[in-house]
Structure 1
Amino acid sequence: MTIRVLVADDQAMVRSGLRLILEDQADIRVVAEAADGAEAVARARELRPDVCLVDIRMPRLDGLEVTRALAGPDVADPLRVVVVTTFDTDEYVYGALRSGAVGFLLKDAGPALLVEAVRAAHAGDALVSPSVTVRLLRTVRERAPARAPARPLSERELEVVREVARGRTNREIAARLFISLSTVKSHVSGIQTKLGLRNRVEVAAWAWEHHKVD
């Protein structure tokens, strides 16, 4: 199956570079480019790509607004958005997370991680660049005080929490713990419910705050 991707960035050279990297893969095709946020929303709604790569800073609508429009909680049929950023503004990236982005990647992360992020998003997993994770965790800690779970986590759930905190995708967790992908997804959902958290990065922050991972 070919993964259809939309690339949104206000710099033509960046768009061209991302296209070259992605279309070097047999299973990925860039179906559209957008030079600003408004164009990104319009093209994404028209073409319904499998994954949208969105810069955090763009004219007309920024990456936060684009993410909310395409993947926000009020969107009936959300798309999968991965933010590709220089990460010079923590607030923007945290806002994109809250708005429904499924991945974060630095522009200098390298071709392999870019391709992995697209494939992870398409598979329903999330990928956060390791260097971005540290910044995100610090922001989450500043905003959300440490909390105890409403119900205790099982030992298996704690194992999943540790793997999430290390930035591993659902497929990687399934392979490491010798369980099915659907079981991992069920555990992650249950963990978020018990902890009262809304996404994987907040789960990772909880793990670090409570010394559940080295």
Structure 2
Amino acid sequence: MSPIRVFLVDDHAVVRRGMRAFFEMLDDIEVQGEAADGQAALDQLAIAAAAGDLPDVVLMDLLMPRLDGIAATKAIKQRYPGVEVVALTSFSEAERVHVALEAGAAGYLLKDAEADQVGAAVRAAKRGQVHLDPAVARTLTRSLVSPHRTATALTPREREILILVAKGQSNKDIADALMISERTARTHVSNVLSKLGLTSRTQAALWAVREGLVTGP
């Protein structure tokens, strides 16, 4: 299989160099490009789109000059919905991750995450799965949106679907586990998000942890 193509966005050159050096050691992930802020990233992605060569995953810093990671993430997901975004944050910026998830980020990492966690996050995003940094996830579950919705709004099958989503399962994984079609699995996931007033699989995973349906990461 072709390597997963990653685009790095961070205003600190040393961070980009470190991530690039790590990915160069892997056979299944390659760095397609990099940018120092959100606007530069959008400019380069526009060129890549015109050439039919968009990356699979963007690793996005949240705090940057000109255009921050929140706005850049939202723009990327609007223009290139097939490109997944993983937010990069320091622990002190944890409250900003909420907004990044609402903007469409597929997950997030702490900047001091172990190298294998970075690789795992990229692979999960490429598979359409959620990757949550454990430390920040525990903080975010306390302030998750839609706090008054309860699992009683879901049917037993939808609760089952939600638990699988919270465990990072893709629609295909869910379909295989429950012996249903992938289309049916996708419909169930959409219904779960709608009933709970959530906008992403990542929010659903956090909600399930907070409600005690699954244990935290």
Mark the CA change 1:128 to 1:179 in structure 2 (over 3 Å): closer, same or farther. Answer: farther
CA contact (8 A) 2:107 2:202 kept: no
Answering whether residue 57 of structure 2 is matched by residue 56 of structure 1, we say no
**Percent identity over the alignment?**
39
Q: Which residue of 2 aligns with 1:22?
A: 23
For 1:43, the equivalent position in structure 2 comes to: 44
| Equivalence map 1:172-191=2 (5 Å) | 174=174, 177=177, 182=182, 185-191=186-192
- Which residue does 2:121 correspond to in 1? 117
Describe the superposition over 1:94-133 as per-residue Cα deviations: whole angstroms up to 9, x where unpaired: 1111111111111122111111111111122221112221
Secondary structure in 2 matching 1:118 = helix
Number of the residue aligned with 2:110: 106
Report the equivalent of 1:126: 130
Tell me, yes or no, if the aligned pair for 1:137 and 1:201 is still in contact at 8 Å. Answer: no
Q: Counterpart amino acid of 1:29? A: E
Comparing 119-128 with 9-18, greater Cα deviation is found at 119-128
Whether the 8 Å CA contact 1:161–1:207 is kept in 2: the answer is yes
Q: In structure 1, which of residues 130, 147, 150 is the aligned counterpart of residue 149 of structure 2? A: 147
Distance 2:214 2:57 in 1: 31
Opposite residue 115 of structure 2, the aligned amino acid is P
Which deviates more, 26-35 or 193-202?
Answer: 193-202
> What CA distance in whole angstroms lies between the structure 1 residues aligned with 2:105 and 2:190?
17
Cα separation, 2, equivalents of 1:107 and 1:204: 21
Shift of 1:30: 0.5
Quick one: distance in 2 between partners of 1:205 and 1:106? 16
Structure 1 unaligned segments of length 5 or more: list them.
Answer: none
Q: Which amino acid aligns with 1:11?
A: H
1:8 paired residue number: 9
Conserved in 1, the CA contact under 8 Å of 2:10 and 2:35?
yes
Unaligned runs of 5+ residues in structure 2 are: 49-53
C-alpha separation between the residues in 2 aligned to 1:96 and 1:104?
9
Deviation at 1:172, TM superposition (A): 10
- Preserved CA contact (<8 Å) 1:10 1:35: yes
TM-score (ref. length: structure 1): 0.83
Q: Given residue 46 of structure 1, which amino acid in structure 2 is its aligned partner?
A: I
